[in-house]
Amino acid sequence: MSTSLVEAEALAPQPGATLRQRQWAVLIRATMRQWRSRIGLGIFSLMVLIALAGPLIAPDSPTAFVTAPNAPPSVHGPFGGDVLGRDVWSRFLYGGRTVLGMALAATIIGVGLGLVVGLTAAYRRGWVDETLMRIADVFMAFPQIVLALLLVAAFGPSVPLIILMVGISHAPRVARVIRGAAQQVVEREFVQAAEAVGEPRRRIIFGELLPNVSSPLTVEFGLRLTYSIGLIAALNFIGAGIQPPTADWGVMINENRLAVAFQPWGVLLPIIAIALLTIGTNLLTDGFARAVIGLERGE
């Protein structure tokens, strides 16, 4: 499965590749000219930095009992203690890795799978298209969180299961978008030319079609990442994913929400973090989508 853009570029014929590289440069510049993209990228980078570097600067272990339960902020902990007397600030600094890592993994699975299905359906047409889209309909008949819960009911709470199910629940939605974009490309001359010289089917799908759907693919990746962060955080929050005592923003919100009236920090820090993360990815994705539309109109 060649799903990365870099690989797709390498597969593409040389003259086209340079042209495409220039198009990408133009697209990225058009994205970054908009203030919403700059703010989005800034917020997103900050949150990723907190998630990755947080554990290095955390003063305490995220699972050590260092204060009284629900202790108010003090010199020992700037945001006080959580419901069991662990340092809120340290748990917050440790809690971003899980949600961000799980969301990224689920997005890569979902977008990768949706890409392969969408391109195959658009290229093969006929019964292959019909069958793939019916299967997609069945998986789209469940709200995403319900599909994940169905499997958690059978197998119990599990991190790999949640990642897989969130990914699978994205796949049909991505497949539909990619199929729609690729259907227009399939009709173009260079695809027929590639067929005429006998290029293998897989090379046509990934070498000819894929580079031509890369901008809707990027928009889908951004959108699905935003939704994945929300879904994964929600599943961890309701206890279907990461289990206590592991520090995770979703888990933290659930642990501390009953004490929110007198110790709000255990809920506030993770909830602001999740909100900023999703707003950041959404602003950046919206900026990119606007740049794509702007360039298409300019042509």
Partner 1 sequence: MTRFLLKRIALGILTLFLVSVVVFAATQALPGNAATAILGRNATPARVAALSRQLHLNESAFAQYIHWLGDILKGNLGISAATQEPVTHYISGRLANSGFLVLVSAIVAIPLSIMLGVWMAVRRDKPADQALSVGTLGLAALPDFVIGILLVLLLGTNVTHIFPPVSLVPPGEHAWDVPKAVVLPALTLVLAVTPYISRIMRASMVEVLESDYVTMARLKGLPNRTVIWRHAVPNAIVPAIQVSALQLAYMAGGVVVVEYVFAYPGIGSALIDAVGNRDVPVVQALTLIIAAVYVVVNVGADVLTILVTPRLRTAGR
98 belongs to the binding site for partner 1 (CB under 8 A): no
Q: Which of 27, 252, 253, 291 binds partner 1 (CB under 8 A)?
A: 253
Looking at the DSSP bridge assignments, the partners of residue 102 are: none
Instruction: Write the CA distances from 295 to 22, 24, 86, 203, 254, integer angstroms.
Output: 13, 11, 51, 28, 44
Rounded CA gap, 151 and 162, in Å?
A: 8
Nearer to partner 1, 231 or 242 (CB): 231
- Residue 271 makes contact with partner 1 by CB under 8 A: yes
Is 218 a binding residue for partner 1 by CB under 8 A? The answer is no
Q: Does 38 bind partner 1 (CB under 8 A)?
A: no
Position 238, amino acid: I
SS3 65: strand
Q: Is the dihedral of CA 35, 177, 218, 42 positive or negative?
A: positive
Does residue 41 interact with partner 1 by CB under 8 A? no
Q: Shortest Cβ distance from residue 16 to partner 1 (Å)?
A: 33
Are 85 and 116 spatial neighbours (Cβ–Cβ below 8 Å)?
no
Tell me the closest approach of the beta carbon of residue 266 to partner 1, in angstroms. 12
Asked if 90 touches partner 1 (CB under 8 A), the answer is no
> Binding to partner 1 by residue 282, rule CB under 8 A?
yes
How many Å separate Cα 20 from the centre of its chain? 25
Segment lying near partner 1 (by CB under 8 A), choices 70-78, 134-142, 178-186, 208-216: 134-142
Interface with partner 1 in residues 139-198 (CB under 8 A) = 139, 141-146, 149-156
Question: Smaller CB distance to partner 1: residue 211 or 287?
Answer: 287
Residue 27 or residue 284: which is nearer to partner 1 going by CB?
284
Give phi and psi for 65, each to the nearest 5: -90, 105
Cis peptide before 59 (omega within 30 of 0): no
Q: Binder to partner 1 among 11, 17, 36, 61 (CB under 8 A)?
A: 36
For residues 228 and 111, give the distance between their C-alpha atoms in angstroms, rounded to a whole number: 11
Interface with partner 1, residue 1, by CB under 8 A: no
Task: Assess 242 for contact with partner 1 (CB under 8 A).
Answer: no
Minimum gap (Å) between residue 65 Cβ and partner 1: 25
Provide the CA 88 distance to its chain's centre, in angstroms. 26
By CB under 8 A, residue 238 contacts partner 1: yes
Q: Kindly state whether residue 283 participates in binding partner 1, applying the rule CB under 8 A.
A: yes
How far is Cα 253 from Cα 1, in angstroms, rounded to an integer? Answer: 38
Q: Is 117 in the site for partner 1 (CB under 8 A)?
A: no
One-character DSSP codes across 73-93: P-SS-TT-B-TTSBBHHHHHH
Residue 267 touching partner 1 (CB under 8 A): yes
Q: Could you give the CA distance from residue 291 to residue 30 in angstroms, rounded to a whole number?
A: 5
- Residues forming the site for partner 1 (CB under 8 A): 36, 134, 137-139, 141-146, 149-156, 226, 229-231, 233-234, 237-240, 253, 257, 260-261, 264, 267-268, 271, 274-275, 278-279, 281-283, 286
